[in-house]
Chains A and B, each alone.
Chain A
Amino acid sequence: MFTQNIIEAFWLGLSMGGFCTVSCAPFVIPYILADSNSKFLPRIFIFCQFLFGRLAAYILFAAVVSFISISSEDFLTMKVNNILLIAGSLLMITFALFKIDFRFCQISGWSKATRGFPLLTGFLLGLNLCPPFLIAIIKVLNMHSMLNSCLYFLFLFIGTTIYLIPVAFASALFKSEFFKRMGTYLAILVGIWFLIQGITGLL
């Protein structure tokens, strides 16, 4: 079960990572990297700061959510949980189908405000409440364990970061229409999967 949760978190991260890549990251990462000089190591350092900021946001979020779930054991019944899962997945499908921008956090505005602070930019970007992130929260609410919740979000972070690393160095590649479409299709499929899980959970 523990391993399954970790793989699921990683997979969810992979599915939302596509959207992070095509909608948010191209705005932020070249901007961060543009702040540094052209040498390789300083660029890596800045990028690592940005990632660390994101990781801190993810872990903090997991800790808060799991604290809520532990302090109120019956906070959510299974039914409410499944309804939330259905709502989250429907939102995810709708956003993917109608190509609605995932940038809830007004990232371009934030990135301007946090110019020169990649750690802060990463932290704020990590708190982006997009639909896959909401699904992860619902999953974590069910765990009632702070360690498991933090690990879930850690692997969610790793899943999304896989996309961000090449983007940082080859953002032109991921600007292609093919990757955008792949991101959309994957988001729809993952949304449908969680929708089915929610429906069968209610049945």
Chain B
Amino acid sequence: MKLRSIVIFIVLGFLSTVIYYVNYKLLVVSLVWSGIIALLHYFMERTSRISLFRTIFFAILAFSFLMEMHIFFNQENSFLPYCHIGMAGNVLNIGYNEFLAIKNQTFLRYGALSIGIAWLLIILINGGGFCSYGCFFGGIDDTFSQLLRKPLIRISSSTKFREFQFALLIFLIAISFIYSYSVFCQWLCPLKLSCSIINENSRTYMFQVYLFIGIGLVFLVMLPFLAKKRFFCSVICPFGALPPLVHKFTPYKITIDKSSCSKCGKCSEVCPSFAIVKSPKTSIPHITRFCTLCMRCASKCPTKSIKQTLYNRKETSLIPFISIMLGGAVSLFYLPNAIIDLINFLCSLKI
């Protein structure tokens, strides 16, 4: 087994022990899951089929989150300090609450200075990688975008399309600050269907329910399935606008080797994030700042011209290692609980 996979197991195993040392059942499941992550990474390196094993990991992660938080409703035992998607659009309110806390000589355990900085560091280290390895939302539309062999609707990549996210982020930050609540969570998050509809009889809440169902069906399921593109992550997600903003400063990038590129455009076609555009002059594809490091382009490139690089120069193979480690660390907070709940549920069916 390669050294990096062993490092992944050791780090995640240590984290599992720290989180679950009081509950041996969860600790065992957590250690097994850490081993599975290390194995998936091993296969990524051994077979070079990074995209395939990433998809398996990402799908498990996203659907276990969905199961735990929104089907078993185990929001007490499972623990997520703060949803990064909700936080992105609510950043001014979170900063203001932190300010009030400091003014009252206290400190928010999960505020702008703790969890906010942690997210910022993750983006700076891993760029868009978190969107392809760690995001429990992204895994849903990513999975649906991989179900068909060929897209039924063809949508060409365009950065104009992705720029909408910047406007949405600005809008959400401002409007959430004006009304002092997270507008994204209240009006746009389809996962809120199962947990935050307080008064189902109110007409406004019913309007919200229809909005959640509509957004979920269209952007998380139908469009990704039909067009093989990650529509929710590319259009609706406010967090998705953050990695492109710091893309220049992130060390790990995907780069196209222009000398060996055959200009076939396959990479641009398969990119689920609308991140690869063809240069109008030379026809050589160019990977833009919207890249989420999913490596689907590399797996489809006939000339193997797409490489992982450090600052677009030195070739590296660290992207899956760092990304799967970060995604795996986040998953430890809810995935072991999901597995236990699933086992309990299946056992109760037998009885």
Contact = CB atoms under 8 A, between A and B. Distances in A.
> What are the 4 tightest A-B residue pairs by CB atom distance, in nearest-first order?
A185-B167, A203-B203, A189-B171, A7-B178
B207 A14 contact: no
Contact of B171 (A190, A196, A199): A190
Interface string A157-195: 000000000000000000000100110011001100100
A193 B167 contact: no
Interface of A: 4, 7-8, 11, 14, 178, 181-182, 185-186, 189-190, 193, 196, 199-200, 203
B348 to A, nearest CB: 41
A14 B174 CA distance: 10
Contact of B163 (A11, A181, A203): A181
Contact of A181 (B160, B175, B203, B207): B160
B179 A178 contact: no
B204 A189 contact: no
B204 A178 contact: no
B166 interface: yes
Contacts of A196: 187
Interface of B: 160, 163-164, 166-168, 170-171, 174-175, 177-179, 187, 203-204, 207
Contact of B168 (A178, A189, A199, A203): A189
A58 B167 CA distance: 27
B203 to A, nearest CB: 4
Contacts of A200: 203-204, 207
Contacts of A190: 171
A186 B167 contact: yes
A173 B207 CA distance: 41
A8 B170 contact: no
B160 to A, nearest CB: 6
Given A11-B175, A189-B171, A193-B175, A182 B163 contact: yes
B178 A8 contact: yes
A11 B207 contact: no
B288 to A, nearest CB: 13
Nearest to B163: A181
Contacts of B204: 200, 203
A186 B174 CA distance: 11
B211 to A, nearest CB: 8
17 contacts: A4-B178, A7-B177, A8-B178, A14-B174, A178-B163, A181-B163, A185-B164, A185-B166, A185-B167, A186-B167, A186-B171, A193-B171, A193-B175, A196-B187, A199-B207, A203-B203, A203-B204
Contact of A4 (B171, B179, B187, B203): B179
A73 B160 CA distance: 47
Given A4-B178, A4-B179, A11-B178, A203 B160 contact: no
Nearest to A181: B163
Nearest to B166: A182
Task: Give the interface SS of chain A, mostly helix, strand, loop or mixed.
Answer: helix
A181 B161 CA distance: 10
Contacts of B163: 178, 181-182, 185
Contact of A185 (B168, B174, B187, B207): B168
A169 to B, nearest CB: 22
A182 B167 contact: yes
User: Which of A14, A186, A199 has the most chain B CB atoms inside 10 A of its CB?
Assistant: A186
Contacts of B174: 11, 14
Contacts of B179: 4
A181 B166 CA distance: 10
A203 B211 CA distance: 15
B180 to A, nearest CB: 8
Nearest to A193: B175
Contacts of A14: 174
A167 B111 CA distance: 37
Given A185-B166, A200-B203, 19 more contacts: A4-B178, A4-B179, A7-B177, A8-B178, A178-B163, A181-B163, A182-B166, A182-B167, A182-B170, A185-B163, A185-B167, A186-B167, A186-B171, A189-B168, A190-B171, A193-B171, A200-B204, A200-B207, A203-B203
Contacts of B187: 196
Nearest to B160: A181
B167 A189 contact: yes
A96 B142 CA distance: 31
A177 B261 CA distance: 29
A30 to B, nearest CB: 26
A193 B166 CA distance: 17
A186 B238 CA distance: 14
Nearest to A178: B163
Contacts of B175: 11, 193
A181 B164 CA distance: 8
B1 to A, nearest CB: 48
Contacts of B203: 200, 203
A14 B178 CA distance: 13
A7 B170 CA distance: 15
Nearest to A201: B204
A186 B170 contact: yes
Contacts of A189: 167-168, 171
